[in-house]
C-alpha cells in the first residue's frame, strides 16, 4: 500500500508501485492539468512538485512518493492566483498552452528555491522545459515578473 498526499488530500493506493505517478494523477484522480509529453522526463510537460521540488512525473514510479507530498498545477493555488500564475496571465505567455502547466510548476519551484534569480539562473532553471511554440521570451519575462511578487 502506497500512502501519500496530492494537493493536500491523503491518498492510498494498491496500484502497481512501478506505475508512473503521472498515470495515477490523470487516470485515478482525474487531475489532467499535468500532461504527458515525451514519456522520458525530457520535456517537462509532466512536472509536479514532490516535497517542494520540481520533478517529472511521467517516469517517476508511484513507490517513490510513499509518505511524500505531491502538488499538481491544480493544487498550486486554490484559485489560480499563485504569483507565477498571475505573471503568466499578465504577460500572456501561452500560445498553444500544452506545456504551460509544467512550465508554471517549474517556475514556481525555481522561485521558491531562489526568489530573486538572475536572468542566467532563470534560463538555467527553466532549461529542462520545452515549449513547442517557442514562447521562451514570454516565459522568461513572466518568471522575472513573478519574482517581483506581481
**What's the gap between Cα 104 and its chain centre?**
6
Of 76, 108, 129, which residue sits at a domain end? 76
- Whole-angstrom Cα distance, residue 122 to residue 29? 32
Of 40, 57, 76, which residue sits at a domain end? 76
| Single pTM value for the model | 0.96
Residues 70 and 109 in one domain: no
Of 76, 98, 131, which residue sits at a domain end? 76
Q: How many angstroms separate the first and last alpha carbons of the chain? A: 42
Q: What single-letter DSSP state applies at residue 38?
A: S
Find the CATH number of the domain harbouring 119: 1.10.150.120
Find the CATH number of the domain harbouring 40: 3.10.20.30
Domain carrying residue 15: 2-76
Question: What per-residue confidence (pLDDT) applies to 149?
Answer: 78
70-114 tens-digit pLDDT: 999 999 998 999 999 999 999 999 999 999 999 999 999 999 999
Q: What single-letter DSSP state applies at residue 61?
A: B
- Evaluate if residue 122 carries a pLDDT over 90: yes
Residues written for the chain = 150
- Evaluate if residue 47 carries a pLDDT over 90: yes
Amino acid at each position: 500500500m502506497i500512502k501519500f498526499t496530492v494537493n493536500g488530500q491523503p491518498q492510498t493506493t494498491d496500484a502497481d508501485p512501478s506505475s508512473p505517478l503521472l498515470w495515477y494523477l490523470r487516470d485515478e484522480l482525474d487531475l489532467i492539468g499535468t500532461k504527458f509529453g515525451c514519456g522520458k522526463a525530457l520535456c517537462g510537460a509532466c512536472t509536479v512538485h514532490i516535497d517542494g521540488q520540481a520533478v517529472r512525473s511521467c517516469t517517476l514510479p508511484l513507490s517513490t512518493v510513499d509518505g511524500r507530498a505531491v502538488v499538481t498545477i491544480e493544487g498550486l493555488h486554490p484559485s489560480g492566483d499563485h504569483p507565477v500564475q498571475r505573471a503568466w496571465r499578465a504577460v500572456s505567455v501561452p500560445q498553444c498552452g500544452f506545456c504551460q502547466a509544467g512550465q508554471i510548476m517549474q517556475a514556481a519551484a525555481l522561485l521558491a528555491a531562489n526568489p530573486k534569480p538572475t536572468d542566467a539562473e532563470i534560463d538555467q532553471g527553466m532549461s529542462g522545459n520545452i515549449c513547442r511554440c517557442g514562447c521562451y521570451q514570454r516565459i522568461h519575462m513572466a518568471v522575472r515578473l513573478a519574482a517581483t511578487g506581481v
